[in-house]
A and B are shown apart, each in its own frame.
Chain A
Amino acid sequence: MSCRSVSHLLPLFDDPELSAEERASVAAHLASCNECAQELATIRRAQLQLASWRVAETPASGPDAIIARLSETGRQSARWRRRFTRPQWAGALAACVVAMVLWITWPDATPISPAEDAQPTPMLFMATQEGTAPFAASRSLALDPLPPMPLEIVLHSDDPLSSGQKLVARLAEITPETTPILLEMPDGSVQVQLEAVTPARLHDLLSTVEQSDAVEWGYDGWLAHIPHVDMETALVVVIEATGASN
């Protein structure tokens, strides 16, 4: 058994989740390889340090502050509920529901079909949420029924700043109701942020931007995208140069 063949298991050697065969193969290797045994010792030392870095006490007033804030929130939402369950609101609410259904099922909202030519698009489009694994399924942005949320467009290219400036200028033109913000990130990329956009609106925006040729990228109406189920979150769109665009 070579060092390489056990290297992915070595740091997990002490974990009860390892199977008996896996543990046996690592143990057999360790018996004959001093280098790996030393590496395991270093890993164990670091592990022990991290585990002994305990938090002895947590702020005693922490839970009370939260409980007080929660009961305040509870009172407020009860007030809202009372207000919106008055009869005069019922009609308005029903109209909203009808509008929502229409909006979601509107035939125009079908995604534009992917580009037919085999030419590689200069930019790759994908939505991602930082810190999570790549998404399993892609879905149509135009049909996404998610509510408005903050949007971040991350640009990676040879000259992200000028792409970002063009994008901001174009967005300001087509969405006078929002104020896009341009940020230069420590890693050299550029972010364009909008306060609140629904995915469907984003689809409109990106289609329009593309047609304008202000920024050279490909957009086919589909995103690999995880809708966040637990809580509100930002929609993040990453645009990366996939080939020489100039």
Chain B
Amino acid sequence: MPVEHGQAIDIERLRARDPQVFEAVVRTHYDRVYRLALRMLGNATDAEDVAQEAFMKVHRSAPRFRADSSLSTWIYRITHNVCLDELRRRKRRPLAQGLQGSDDEHLAVEQADDGPGPEEAALSADERLRLRRALDGLPLEFRSVLVLREVEDLSYEQIASVLKCPIGTVRSRLARARRLLAERLQRSDDHELQERVSSAASLR
């Protein structure tokens, strides 16, 4: 019986969708699922919805769970896929709407949503916003590896299992993703510095 995070999960009962086992699974894994969704999607409301959807899928797919990956990797994989579905849905806008809704509008909604959010005060609101923008600007496969590694602290092997790709791909994506994120954050630093200089100049 695999023991994960101090909790023994009976795989047979999980496959049989035993309500008691599921309750334990939800309580044990909720924080991880929610965190991944929040970092992938950028706002608390969507993260909560996606977390719900992910657990519904875990429940539906439970009879097909093979213990060849760990339970948490499997749950991460399902959550990650639900996140991609949600991001794809967002991109998809009917022709008429696509002409009206601007990206700025979309960003404003996200910020308002993220405002009083459950972030720790380790970063200032401004730093969080810049991080969010830098992360959102990255191609999805880079965002995924960064969140799984830097936020969720998974190993290369676990990430490969979540994304169903070779470890070599994880390595090369992670290397490129870290470089890209650093470049983007640096650029936004430079940009802010410039703005401060020019506003100081205009005060004079």
Contact = CB atoms under 8 A, between A and B. Distances in A.
Interface of A: 8-12, 15, 17, 39, 42-43, 45-47, 49-59, 62-63, 65-67, 69-71, 73-74, 130-133, 181-186, 191, 193, 229-231, 233-234
A53 B178 contact: no
B34 A58 contact: yes
Contact of A130 (B30, B52, B88): B88
A181 B94 CA distance: 8
Interface in B1-46: 17, 19, 22-23, 26-27, 30-31, 34-35, 38-39, 44
Contacts of A47: 150, 178, 182
Given A17-B156, A59-B48, A183-B95, A67 B23 contact: yes
Nearest to B117: A55
A56 B118 contact: yes
B182 A184 contact: no
Contact of A49 (B60, B127, B140, B165): B127
A53 B185 contact: no
Contacts of A53: 39, 119, 122-123, 128, 131, 151
21 contacts: A10-B175, A12-B174, A12-B175, A39-B182, A43-B178, A46-B185, A47-B150, A50-B135, A51-B150, A53-B122, A55-B38, A55-B39, A56-B120, A63-B27, A65-B52, A66-B56, A67-B26, A184-B95, A230-B57, A231-B60, A234-B85
A16 to B, nearest CB: 8
A10 B172 CA distance: 11
Given A59-B44, A62-B48, A130-B84, 6 more contacts: A53-B119, A53-B122, A53-B131, A56-B119, A230-B78, A231-B81
A185 B99 CA distance: 10
A17 B155 contact: yes
B34 A62 contact: yes
B59 A70 contact: yes
B196 interface: no
Contacts of A181: 94
Interface residues of B, number: 69
A70 B91 contact: no
Contacts of B128: 53
- Top 3 A-B pairs, shortest CB-CB distance: A11-B178, A46-B182, A56-B120
A230 B182 CA distance: 34
Contact of A55 (B22, B23, B60, B120): B120
A43 B149 CA distance: 14
Contacts of B164: 132-133
A197 B135 CA distance: 35
Given A132-B165, A233-B85, A59 B34 contact: yes
A181 B48 CA distance: 29
Contact of A12 (B146, B165, B171, B181): B171
A51 B147 CA distance: 9
Contacts of B60: 231
Given A67-B23, A133-B165, A73 B59 contact: yes
Given A55-B38, A63-B30, A131 B84 contact: yes
Contacts of B204: none
A56 B31 CA distance: 10
Given A70-B56, A130-B88, A233-B81, A54 B178 contact: no
